[in-house]
Structure 1
Amino acid sequence: MPPTAAARTEVLAPAPPRGLAARLGRRLLSPWSRLSLLLVLLAGMGASVLLLEPQRLLSDGWPKQLGGAAALLVFVAAYGLCCVAFVPRPLMSLAAGALFGSTLGLVAAVGGSVLGAALSFGLGRMLGQDALRPLLRGRLLTAVDGQFSRHGFRTLLATRLFPGVPFLAANYCAAVSRTRWLPFLLATGIGIIPNTGAYVVAGARASTPTSPVFLFAMGFIAVTGLAGGAVAWWKREKFRGR
């Protein structure tokens, strides 16, 4: 027998909730919703930094209950999270040298930097890329995006070696571009070693500020900072001329 009108109504009744759920799901997963989530996460992490004050590691030292490999791993994780939460990397690198010495401090600082870069890149790629890429219409923005997309490894390596571009800004620029994961991580891991090492050594030798090693480290930081500023200015003028 053909179904009655009432039966047809009962069969079709569940359809609107499924359609509503699908629309809500699409709205929640839309590019702008994901970008809003990214901004909320970053704001929350920035607020947590103001409350926890990780810079106290330089004055108070590492908690005594943590030692050995556990302390190193916890510091790497904390360093990575602090990178995402806008804590200046030089501050954390100085702390790494003061807490662990030159060798282990460099391992901790490089590991934490790569972890923080990976977290930033992943968040930017998943939550921000789809919303921000359509906005890259200006000549300068288009040129920067093309540089990162076509020459990801080379551009990131130069950015890390000559820190004219803030670490976090470079991470998100690479995430919004079409830079791939492996070149991004390799360029970050290799490029940050010289400058990060100088900060770690400075932190390890901070108790002897007149020693040749400390003075060399501070001189290296100053020279690379000036070189980074010059490279950033030259690139900016070059992009403007395109």
Structure 2
Amino acid sequence: MLDATTRSGGTATATPPAAATELASTPLPTGRPALAGPAAVPAAPPRWARALLSPWFRLSLLVALLAGAAGCVLAFEPQRLLSDGWPAQLNGAAAAVVFAVAYGLCTVAFVPRPLLNLAAGALFGSQLGLGAAIAGTVLGAGVSFGLGRVLGQDALRPLLRARFLKAADGQLSRHGFRSMLAVRLFPGIPFAAANYCAAISRMSWPSFLLATGLGSIPNTAAYVVAGARASTPTSPVFLVAMGFIAVPGLIGAVVAWRKRHHLRGR
């Protein structure tokens, strides 16, 4: 039985079945490139991964880290440095470096900076103590700023709806260096609160760190000198240091009172 025939000049020619199958399966040229298949769609991350990356999970992690740090401070009581002194095996510049690192970590855990500054002066004297205290201040502020920026900014920025919060955020975002410099010069604003408020804003890292380092010098120096001269509380140097502690706080309170309308957005 013939599967296909062709006629040429009245003569019938049979085409074998295999050849007919091959001809039927050969695509005809169309002059157009073959259409590519659909692009591969990347698989969506699993639900647990989305939960771990969510802003609110990161904010919860930040709260847990800060609570754990505060618990460690309560357990180890770093304020004992003022009464027990620095370990005898650590001295000189190496001891100041270790103290600066410990200072920074303690500020992240909400240890009051005045206490740490007094300890720096009592342990290392005015000059070396001031260097260690400023280094620790910048380190602790940078760690707090980084934690707030990475773990808290995405969750908290949508909550800045009150007029006061919007005004403060706009001031920090547009005039980061001078705003943070003013905050550091006047000690009325808590150190940790300023760090995390700046992290939630759009202030840049260099502006924050530079303003923190420069603005913290006067108040830190006053506490360090007071700590170094605590054994002679009636000396002129100690009394001048105490005056530098009290006067900026008073000036900061007056400026904040006069600028309260601007912070409310009026």
Q: TM-score, normalised by structure 2?
A: 0.82
Q: Deviations over 1:57-79 (max 9, x none)?
A: 11111011212222111100000
Shift of 1:221: 0.4
Correspondence for 1:188 among 212, 220, 226: 212
> In structure 2, how many angstroms separate the alpha carbons of the residues matched to 1:44 and 1:236?
35
Q: Distance in 2 between matches of 1:236 and 1:46?
A: 32
4+ aligned runs moved over 6 Å, structure 1:
none
> Which residue of 88, 111, 114 corresponds with 2:135?
111
CA apart distance, 1:238 = 2.2
Q: Structure 1 residue 71 and structure 2 residue 68: aligned? A: no
In structure 2, the residue matched to 1:5 is none
Tell me the SS of whatever aligns to 2:219. helix
Deviations 1:39-85 (A, max 9, x none): 00000000100011111111111011212222111100000001110
- Of structures 1 and 2, the one scoring higher in RCO (CA 8 A, sep 6+) is 1
Partner of 2:56: 32
Inter-partner Cα distance in structure 2 for 1:21 and 1:113: 40
Contact map agreement 1:49 1:82 (CA 8 A) in 2: yes
Residue 228 of structure 2 corresponds to residue 239 of structure 1: no
Q: Which amino acid aligns with 1:59?
A: S
2:236 counterpart of 1:217 = no
Contact 1:157–1:191 (8 Å) recurs in 2: yes
**How much has 1:169 moved relative to structure 2?**
0.6
2:151 to 115, 127, 130: 127
Give, in whole Å, the separation in 2 of the partners of 1:99 and 1:205: 11
Cα distance between partner residues in 2 of 1:241 and 1:138: 10
Unaligned runs of 5+ in 1: 1-17
Residue-by-residue CA offset, 1:107-128 (whole Å, 9 max, x unaligned): 0000000000000000000000
1:208 aligns with 2:211: no
Cα distance per residue 1:15-60 (max 9 Å; x no partner):
xxx9685321111111000000000000000010001111111111
- Number of the residue aligned with 1:53: 77
Query: AA paired with 1:56?
Result: R
Separation in 2, partners of 1:89, 1:236: 26
Higher Cα radius of gyration? 2
The letter of the residue matching 1:213 is: V
> In the alignment, is the contact (CA less than 8 A) between 1:90 and 1:199 conserved in 2?
yes
Task: Tell me the CA shift for residue 99 of structure 1.
Answer: 0.2
Write the distance in 2 (CA, Å) between the matches of 1:80 and 1:172: 15
Larger relative helix fraction: 1
Cα deviation digits, residues 138-168 of structure 1 (max 9, x gap):
0000000000000000000001111121111
Bigger mean CA deviation after superposition, 227-236 or 175-184: 227-236
Deviation at 1:135, TM superposition (A): 0.2
RMSD, aligned CA: 1.4
AA aligned to 2:120 is A
Q: TM-score, normalised by structure 1?
A: 0.90
- Kept in 1: contact 2:167–2:265 (CA 8 A): no
Aligned to 1:197: 221
The whole-number CA distance in structure 2 between the counterparts of 1:20 and 1:48 is: 39
Most deviating of 202-211 and 61-70: 61-70
